[in-house]
Structure 1
Amino acid sequence: MKDLNDYRNKIDEIDEEIVKLFEERMKVVVGIAEYKIQNEIPILNEGRENEVIKKNQDRLENKELNNSLEEFYKSFMKISRNYQSEKINSWKKENQVENTLPATESNDMLQNKTSVVYQGVPGSYSYNALRKFFSLRYNLEDINKINVENFEDVFVTLKSEKVKYGILPLENSSTGGISDVYDLIRNHNFFIIGERKIKVEHNLLGIKGSKIEDIEEVYSHPQGIQQCKKYFDNYPHLKLIPYTNTAASAKYIKESNDIKKAAIASIDAKEIYDLDILSSNINYNENNYTRFVVISKDMELSNKADKVSVVLSVQHESGALYNVLKVFWKHKLNMLKIESRPIEDTPWEYFFYIDFQGNIKDNLVKNAVEEMRNESSYFKVLGNYEAHS
């Protein structure tokens, strides 16, 4: 019969082989990290991780070890992800594109004439938010305003070296977050550098001489239609038709010159396109605000920045999200918002978008961000900027 030392010697031999294989595997992990940063691929691929676990469970001869092997590989792959994250962050620092530090730092964001892209046409709420945000920084005549048809066009246009900023609606106080914009910000790897809240007052607009009794069709952005749903419950015969933008719908009504058509849009759109107001302030929430964010290819910080936005995902296991959220309690940070979005190709798992108060220059905030990063499968700082109250 073998004594205890014999068993321990055997384990030492096995451990020696495990260490060699561990080092060899981590070298491959570094190669994968290099590929991911070059191709802008998230660290976490849960589909691949589940595949690895299943494949190795199938190799087991002793099926009683199935659950233990699963736990082993989950821990092992978390170590690999953390190592990849360390390597990627190190490379980013070397190239001065670290997510938690500014690529450019200035108290005056804009010194020279620059281009800003927005979705819609003059008279849209995006156009209004653009004017209000940038008018605080310099003469609006010095801005080259570029309008595009849809949200994704803003990101495509912003990739041009000649365009520095984009502005987009991110959430509405009545209808919640605009999911397409959340996904686009993450997918296109841009940063939030500012925000502006605009009070939304929708009006029903028609061509000169039209009356509400004449109207059969109403055009507007889906958010605009949704925010006025209670008003249109009183007019069930009206056909509500989604359009690319509130102001674009007003422009369409002007061009169509059809007494049977109307648009949901702003007072600005009414003035620009010379339309009549058939009914004013028709949104059901009188305190209806939309929060717009200004995005850029580069992250910017200032001493006035007091709001941080991050996106993250966690392992689909008990306590994983709690481990992230407890960081706010630990560091006494005020979380302003949390919103979830589905992870494509991974049913019932989510990205979490979180806003909280703080400035990344503050060591307490910086440490909290690093703790959240370490508890996450995927993590990115979307921006640190001055909140608009």
Structure 2
Amino acid sequence: MKKKIAIQGVHGCFHEQAARLYYGDDIDVLECLNFEDLFVGLERKEAEGAVMAIENTVAGGLLPNYALLHKYGKQIKGEVFLRIQQNLMALPGQRIEDIREVHSHYMAIAQTREFFKQFPHIRLIESEDTAKSAADIAREGRMHTGAIASVLAAELFGLEVLQESIETHKQNFTRFLIVDDRIEVVENDINKSSICFTIPHKKGRLSQILSIFAFYDLNLTKIQSLPIPGKEWQYFFYVDLKFDDYAHYREAMNAVSPLVEDVKIMGEYKSCC
């Protein structure tokens, strides 16, 4: 029986590509309109696991998704990095010169505007989703209309890729988190942790915490702060730590515990790179 995985977006989107990269191709996807619906689907047991984007090398972090992880109390069980390759596609038998308009998500359009400067006759139109744009063209048989989407979308909906990799920045990667209660990560495999905490308003407190992480040879790969609703000028700090020695990591967590408040381990898992 195929595993049901919740994704943000529709069949053929980059979230599905990431899900296939982690779980393999033998999955079904639960399409979710927004990221909170991922967690709702898990709560209702409509899906066994979820794949959720958390940061991009071009656009930065998806800050609200940290808050969703904290709100629903789900544990991170893994991660996957996917190169985001934007492709121009249309119904078979057309050339780029035949295309009059191209539809896609605003982010995909922003990442490919430089490419379209050489085709001033093409009008760029924002839509709600990259893969849905491709699906709509296929379903409605739209000639002279293109979409910017993944190669997976082209394969699924029978479109022809007119030009591969049209994104301006080729080193464009998105990091996706795996949220799946059924996955058990054995201690020997754990080399990364995602934690969150608050700190009291005391001079130098954050510096002390970071010094402890450094002392125990932990690599701080990400630190992000988000305001706490209803608490003026107070913040949650979201931190990703990489390490070679799990025991040192636990010692570091014990050492920082007296310095922080509301500390929560959001996941201990194996880094994908």
TM-score range, shorter chain: 0.7 to 0.9
Structure 2 matches for 1:1-389, cutoff 5 A? 114-135=3-24, 140-141=25-26, 143-161=27-45, 163-232=47-116, 238-243=123-128, 245-297=129-181, 300-302=184-186, 303-346=188-231, 349-358=234-243, 362-389=246-273
CA distance in 2, matches of 1:355, 1:227: 27
Please tell me whether the aligned partners of residues 217 and 243 of structure 2 are also in contact (alpha carbons under 8 angstroms): no
CA distance in 2, matches of 1:215, 1:348: 51
CA distance in 2, matches of 1:113, 1:278: 33
C-alpha distance 222-189 of structure 1, shift in aligned 2 (>3 A): farther
CA distance in 2, matches of 1:240, 1:312: 41
Aligned pairs, number: 271
C-alpha distance 207-365 of structure 1, shift in aligned 2 (>3 A): same
Please tell me whether the aligned partners of residues 167 and 294 of structure 1 are also in contact (alpha carbons under 8 angstroms): yes
CA distance in 2, matches of 1:235, 1:352: 45
Opposite residue 195 of structure 2, the aligned amino acid is V
For structure 1, which runs of at least 5 residues remain unmatched after alignment?
A: 1-111
**Cα deviation code 1:293-326 (max 9, x no counterpart):** 1113478431211111112232345323212212
C-alpha distance 335-272 of structure 1, shift in aligned 2 (>3 A): same
Offset at 1:285? 1.7
C-alpha distance 374-248 of structure 1, shift in aligned 2 (>3 A): farther
Please tell me whether the aligned partners of residues 109 and 124 of structure 2 are also in contact (alpha carbons under 8 angstroms): no
C-alpha distance 287-126 of structure 1, shift in aligned 2 (>3 A): same
RMSD: 2.7
**Cα deviation code 1:154-208 (max 9, x no counterpart):** 1100112463311112112222212232222122111110111112211112233
Larger helix fraction of residues: 1
Opposite residue 261 of structure 2, the aligned amino acid is S
CA distance in 2, matches of 1:329, 1:113: 43
CA distance in 2, matches of 1:229, 1:375: 47
Offset at 1:152? 1.6
3-state SS in 2 of match to 1:301:
coil
Opposite residue 188 of structure 1, the aligned amino acid is Y
Offset at 1:271? 1.5
CA distance in 2, matches of 1:298, 1:350: 31
Opposite residue 264 of structure 1, the aligned amino acid is I
Offset at 1:240? 3.6
CA distance in 1, matches of 2:257, 2:109: 39
Query: What percent identity do the matched residue pairs reach?
Result: 31
Larger strand fraction of residues: 2
Task: State the TM-score, normalized to the length of structure 2.
Answer: 0.85
**Cα deviation code 1:356-389 (max 9, x no counterpart):** 11379x3321121233343223321111111112
CA distance in 2, matches of 1:322, 1:343: 21
3-state SS in 1 of match to 2:142:
coil
3-state SS in 1 of match to 2:241:
strand
